[in-house]
Every structure is written in C-alpha cells, then in structure tokens.
Amino acid sequence: MERLDQAKWARREIYEMFSKMDYPFYSVTIPVDVTEIKRLSKARGVSFYMLMVWVCTKALNSVPDFRIRIRGDELVVLDQANPSFTYMPKGSEVFKIVTLPWEPEWESFCRNAQEQSEQQTCFIRSGEETDSLIYFSCTPWFDFTALTNEHNFDKDDTVPRLAWGKYYQENGRLWVHLSVEVNHRTIDGFHIGALKAILDREIQHLGEQNPD
C-alpha cells in the first residue's frame, strides 16, 4: 500500500469538486459478453459465478484508481483489493457473505472459493468488513438494466460494488448486464471504460484456455 500524493495527483481538482457534494456516488450498467466464461466454467467443472468474481477482481485491480481508498485526509492505493461476495447455497433462500484473498490462478481460486462458501456457517465472519474489498452480488433469477446498492452514508466509502443479473442470449452469445457503482471522488467514466476494455480482454484470454 502506498500513500497518494494529492499535490501531484492529476485528478486533484476533480476530487476536490466531488468532495463538496452530499452524494458523490454513481452507478452504470454495461453489457458484458460472458460466453467464454460459461464455456470454460462448464468444461473445467467450476462455478460460473466464482469465475466471474475472479475475472472481475483481476480487471479492477488492473486499474489502479479502483484501488484508491479515502482514509481521513489521506488517499492510499492498495496493493490488491480482494473480493467479498454474496453466496446462496443450493436449496436455501438465505445468502451469506464470503470474503477471501484473490489469487492469480483462476481454477485454484474458484475451487477454494466454492469450498470456503460451502463450509462457512455464519452470515459473515467477524472482522472482514474493511475498505480493502470489492463487493460482489448477483441476481440469477432475473436480468436488470439498472441497480442501486444499500450502504451507510459515508462520503469516504470508496469500495467498488459490482453486480450482475441472469445471463441472456443475443446473436448466439451469452451476456450479462454488469452494474458498477463507484465514488466519483476517485473514479470517473474513463476508468470504468478502462475496466470494461480490460475485462473483455481477460475474458477472451480465458476463452483461449478452453480445450473445446
């Protein structure tokens, strides 16, 4: 983790402007082609959901601005943000929140995440609610084109929140609508565009690992 020098930060004036606003948060929803994720997860016997969490976390960490956190008067850049995601066991109507470190090998992460999710018996483990996370959720029962998230009103909250709905077919491909909620004090539309470009590229790379 490193401290961001605000005096030399190119976005300093933007940060100061949005810091004056009562509600600096915004959300966008973008379509993402997840055909290759579906194919690879099926071929390797891992969870589509866990693989989505893995690749989205990798893409977010690749854009340093998504790792900026506001801590009092200081801004810090995390070395790595880790995923914290909702998980609903089969046959249950109640979800829990699972948090674990991201790791660079996707198959190992997916299997570890599945195992930890199944073994966790509490709603959320104590001490895991920090700002060093990325929040994930999914509504596999329905698609959506817009989404808002619940949170305490804290203008310093810079934890990105990602969610997607039920995937849908279009022109022979599978898609999801991906909601990205951020704090405009640290994230602009440019950064979300960079995230989308990296995410598309990482999904393509995953597709190249598909034996089919």
Say if residue 205's pLDDT is above 70: yes
Q: Tell me which residue has tokens 């022979």.
A: 172
- pLDDT tens sequence across 7-62: 999 999 999 999 999 999 999 999 999 999 999 999 999 999 999 999 999 999 99
Report the predicted TM-score, pTM, of the whole model to 2 decimal places.
Answer: 0.96
Tokens of 15: 């940060």
The pLDDT-based confidence of 126 (bands split at 50, 70, 90) is confident
Total count of domains within the chain: 1
* pLDDT > 90: percent of the chain: 93
35-44 helix and 189-207 helix, angle to the nearest 10 degrees: 40
What's the pLDDT score for residue 116? 97
CATH of the domain at 202: 3.30.559.10
What's the pLDDT score for residue 211? 67
The total of other beta-carbon atoms located within 10 Å of residue 115's CB is 11
Say if residue 70's pLDDT is above 70: yes
Instruction: Report the chain's mean pLDDT, rounded to a whole number.
Output: 96
What's the pLDDT score for residue 188? 99
Domain limits for position 50: 2-209
The pLDDT-based confidence of 152 (bands split at 50, 70, 90) is confident
Strands (E), the chain: 2-3, 25-33, 68-71, 74-77, 82-87, 96-99, 133-139, 161-165, 168-170, 173-183
